[in-house]
Amino acid sequence: MSLQFSLYTRSRCGLCDLLHEDLLSLCRGRDVQVVSIDIDRDPALVQRYGFCA
């Protein structure tokens, strides 16, 4: 049974980038996927989480 992590990110977010790299490293060799979802590309997510300044 595979697992999938959904990581909500923003462009130019250093913490998002670090977490993504760490998750990929932890999941390497396991039946786990890391899927990045860019908040700024989805108007509904921008409305929910706010604008990135």
Cβ atoms of 8 and 18 closer than 8 Å: no
pTM exceeding 0.95: no
Cα 9 from Cα 35, distance rounded (Å): 10
pLDDT at res. 10 = 92
pLDDT at res. 53 = 57
Mean per-residue pLDDT, 37-53: 88
- In 3D, which of 10, 12, 13, 14 has the Cα closest to residue 36? 10
With a CB cutoff of 8 Å and minimum separation 6, the contacts of 16 are 7, 9, 10
- 50 pLDDT band (50/70/90 cuts)? confident
Domain boundaries in the chain?
Answer: 3-49
